[in-house]
Chains A and B, each alone.
Chain A
Amino acid sequence: MTKYVLKRLGYMVVVFFTVSFLMYCLYNLIPQDPARLELEGIKTSLKPAEYEARYQALREEMGLDDPIVVRYARWMGLAKDRKGNLNGILEGYFGYSRYFKKDIVTVVKDPAVNTIFINIFATILALGITIPLGIYCAVHKGGKFDNFTQVLTIVGYSIPTYIIALLFIYVFAVILRWFPVSGIGTPGANYTGMKYYIDKLYYLCLPLMVMTFGSLGGMTRYVRAAMIDALSMDHIKTARAKGVHEKTVIYSHAWRNALLPIIGIVIGWFLGIFSGSLIIENTFGLNGMGSLYIKALNNHDYDLALAMQMFYTVVSLVGALITDLSYGFVDPRVRIDK
């Protein structure tokens, strides 16, 4: 097992550096000149010759004329910058956001907490609903309820999230007036303690509902399919023939076998909703990573966008790693094979 874990870890590190290098190159394709932007404010007060001299000095200082590999190494924190310090992502310095005029770590902190909170919350909610539903449908396969759920889940996973969001806003915020349309807290109200969290949760209700509802369709189908496969295995027949209680057959014998594909799907889907929450956050005006990312792209704050892109990449890589490890953990064949 240790060897397997180390192998996966090593592989992940290689992919991380490849992807991050690719990203860095891509961002450098965007026509932009940080040195010129830096001087934009004082451009008019300088003589052309003086401006040119300062511009060249700044370029030199920022190391813009170095080859891209060197710049990448510096940004990563693998090589020393002009001042002789190691100061890059690996040291925890993600760069400076030109739009917010703050360090990127400070800018990202609050939105990241919000995003992670709503994503984990939505995952728990969705799992809590889909697993029992999927099992029930698999056990009663072909029944009226199952057929009905099948049709409903197709509808659920076909319709894009933002259309579900629009519908939910229309029903719950506009007609019924149960929840606020957008935002992440009552404006102007400075609640503290428990009240702050209740207020926040109240504002997050609608986005959470949409996220959960949006993931019900696909998840239920996966759980159902995995469970049907598990129930058609031979050992289930044996167990039933031996007169094992039906509940034990389903929840102990079959469910454990269905768990393997479900884990993979759940983790893949969990990562998917990190990108999916981009749309939710944008629609509901939540202060999260997704809306921050879009703000960064819209305002040409590419250092910030690049840092956040790295976050998304790391999340998906870690997710893939956890998937692999959990496969190895649940199914011994996997770790022996590789």
Chain B
Amino acid sequence: MSERKKSSLIQRLFGNRNEAVDILAEEQIQSPSKMMLDNFLHNRLGMTGLIGFFVILLIVSIIPIFMPINLGESDNTQTNTPPGLSMMAFPKELEGNVADISNGPTFGAGVDKDGNVYTWGHTKITKVIDVANIPSEVKRAHIVMLSCGYDHITAVDDENNVYVWGNTRLGQDNVPSELVPSRTRGTKEIIQLETGYQISGAVTADGEAYLWGNENMSDLSVHKEYQGHIKKIAITNSYYCLLLDNGSVVYGGFKNNAFSNVPASLKSHVVDIAASSDTMCGLKDDGTLIFWGNGTHGENLAPELSSKPVEIYGGRWHYSALLENGDVVSWGNNSHGETKVPDSVNNAEIETIFSGYFQNYAVTKQGKILTWGLKGYVLGTDNLGRDILTRLVHGGKTTMTVGFIAQAIALIIGIITGGLAGYFGGSVDLIIMRVAEVIGSLPFLPFALLLSAIIGSTIDVQLRMYLIMVVLGLLSWTGICRLVRAQILAEREKEFVLAAQAMDVKEGSIIFKHILPNVLSILLVEATLGFATCMLTESSLSYLGFGISPPTPTWGNMLNGANNSIVIQQYWWQWVFVSFIFGICTICINLVGDAIRDAVDPKSLGR
């Protein structure tokens, strides 16, 4: 006994009772319920299952509070991104020596003052295209600036040669002949390089702008009258605007769109322009910011600024600005923390900022690089560019809620019907048992599919979820009903019931207050295992597309898109994590159920 006192908590939770206690002594000091609890606590597998289940339960119930989900979210630039947090992990060589940094949707590229190009992040765009495969002529050249598009990188070297690599199938590398150095026409000196989705644009020292790339959906030609006066170019996904040397902003192309009507206030005194994916922004010399385009994430609403902005930079759905007092401000979409400027940035003296997609890099006067924004996705993204971790925890919450409520419904119906049938017997018993038998003989999955189809997909997602719970509950009460009935049939004949009847206790009170507590332990087993079954059924329904409908995530419908070889092979993270946590969860519940069954069943003690 003295040894046992010394044993640690873990040992007490998981260890077996080594010392043999005399059966009579043990039963004398322990009530049956205490013995069951003791048995359960000493079942290693059961305790492991219980702890595992509680960990998962905590994860899916607490993390969603800190990780809100935006059900409408989807981003075609972030689709099928593998797990990793390397999107802002620039190499050490750039520190203190940076010439230019640019960010694509899932990768980054930078060039140092010695002309070496570096890439980082998820650079593999398709199975064959990888922007990390820097062409050898680029490696040989002394690159001075570069810019990342959706799936390509454009770079310029000190001799004004333009290089493009990555995906070049849609004309991303159709560099206009004017920009190709030639002996007869001379070389145009490039002073600015910008990229959009699959297009690139360059401004030369003599005020000309040239654009090239994927011409679908974009407007690449430049009005002749502006050539020679262009100071700066800003490119959204597919369109561009120009800052001219007279301080006005113009839309340089020929098509009519949301950008072609430049606000009248930008006709003069403009010092800087920038573009996000869907908006453009002009900065006037008095510090006002003027936006136009289709702002969707609040990037077109200027924030309260502590002082005049000097320079502005655009990301995908956010802008960053460097203010006169040295502060840095970001505004717009903050789903990946891209507008949450860290204190270290505001404490440092910032030389310049590079913003792109969801990332920001601020370079201090000392050459240090500070970053904020999207580092990457811990568990990757799905085929709509949604973060799998967020969907996993929220999906778990949904799946568990549905399973729990469905099982609660089944339990309530089962206890009431079983109690009535068992206690009253006769015709009540006959009717209830026939109904239970009819429902029990229905093939479960096909019938659940049918009911789900009847509910239809036209109704509100939330209401549909509740109806699915009810359907599952209504279909799975028969087992509990039969169990309760059988137990009550056995208990009914005992003396204490007779005593209660003799004392004129109400019948309902006899069933539910006197008899039912005796069958609670067995009910507990049934309820635990039923909970796992309900979760499985819900996820099977959702997997087949008949359960909870997207965008609400559940562990079942997250796997809905996974049954094709491309996803299974190339995008393994889209099904492995969900399968893993779901598998662990159901295994844990079943372990707990088994352990309770063993604890309740006196036969398992081997007496």
- Any chain B CB within 8 A of the CB of A238? no
A residues 152-169 near B (Cβ < 8 Å) are 154-155, 157-163, 165-167, 169
A residues 274-311 near B (Cβ < 8 Å) are 274-276, 278-279, 282-283, 293-294, 297-298, 305, 308-309
Check if A159 sits within 8 Å of B583, measured CB to CB. Answer: yes
Complex alpha-carbon distance, A161 and B438, angstroms: 26
Number of residue pairs spanning A and B whose beta carbons lie under 8 angstroms apart: 119
Instruction: List residues of chain B with CB within 8 A of the CB of A114.
Output: none
Check if A283 sits within 8 Å of B446, measured CB to CB. Answer: no
Check if A158 sits within 8 Å of B586, measured CB to CB. Answer: yes
Instruction: List residues of chain B with CB within 8 A of the CB of A160.
Output: 536, 539-540, 543, 582-583, 586
Cross-chain contact of A278 among B451, B544, B559, B591 (Cβ < 8 A) = B544
Given contacts A162-B540, A275-B446, A309-B446, A15 and B438 within 8 Å (CB-CB): yes
Check if B590 sits within 8 Å of A157, measured CB to CB. Answer: yes
Given contacts A158-B587, A158-B590, A151 and B45 within 8 Å (CB-CB): yes
Check if A155 sits within 8 Å of B443, measured CB to CB. Answer: no
Complex alpha-carbon distance, A160 and B546, angstroms: 16
B residues 504-530 near A (Cβ < 8 Å) are none
Cross-chain contact of B565 among A174, A278, A317 (Cβ < 8 A) = A174
Given contacts A170-B572, A174-B568, A294 and B449 within 8 Å (CB-CB): yes
- Any chain A CB within 8 A of the CB of B180? no
Check if B446 sits within 8 Å of A278, measured CB to CB. Answer: yes
Chain A contact residues: helix, strand, loop or mixed: helix
Complex alpha-carbon distance, A34 and B192, angstroms: 66
B residues 199-218 near A (Cβ < 8 Å) are none
Check if B544 sits within 8 Å of A282, measured CB to CB. Answer: yes
| Contact bitstring B420-447, A, C-beta under 8 A = 1, else 0 | 0000000000000000011001111111
Check if A166 sits within 8 Å of B443, measured CB to CB. Answer: no
| Contact bitstring B547-568, A, C-beta under 8 A = 1, else 0 | 0000000000001001111001
Complex alpha-carbon distance, A315 and B441, angstroms: 10
Interface size class of A (residues with CB under 8 A): 35 or more
Check if A316 sits within 8 Å of B559, measured CB to CB. Answer: no
Closest chain B CB from A295 CB (angstroms) = 11
Closest chain A CB from B58 CB (angstroms) = 20
Check if A159 sits within 8 Å of B568, measured CB to CB. Answer: no
- Any chain A CB within 8 A of the CB of B453? yes
- Any chain B CB within 8 A of the CB of A271? yes
Instruction: List residues of chain B with CB within 8 A of the CB of A29.
Output: 454
Closest chain B CB from A67 CB (angstroms) = 21
Check if B586 sits within 8 Å of A313, measured CB to CB. Answer: no
B residues 174-231 near A (Cβ < 8 Å) are none
Closest chain A CB from B35 CB (angstroms) = 21
Complex alpha-carbon distance, A144 and B568, angstroms: 35
Check if B445 sits within 8 Å of A317, measured CB to CB. Answer: no
Apart from A163-B559, A274-B443, list 7 A-B contacts with CB within 8 A.
A154-B591, A158-B589, A159-B587, A271-B443, A275-B445, A275-B446, A313-B443
B→A interface (CB under 8 Å): 45, 437-438, 441-447, 449-451, 453-454, 532, 536, 539-540, 543-546, 559, 562-565, 568-569, 572, 575, 579, 582-583, 586-587, 589-591, 594
17 A-B pairs within 8 Å (CB atoms) are namely: A26-B450, A26-B451, A154-B591, A159-B587, A161-B540, A162-B540, A162-B543, A162-B563, A163-B582, A166-B563, A166-B579, A275-B445, A275-B446, A279-B543, A293-B446, A294-B544, A313-B443
The 3 closest A-B pairs by CB, nearest first: A275-B445, A312-B443, A158-B586
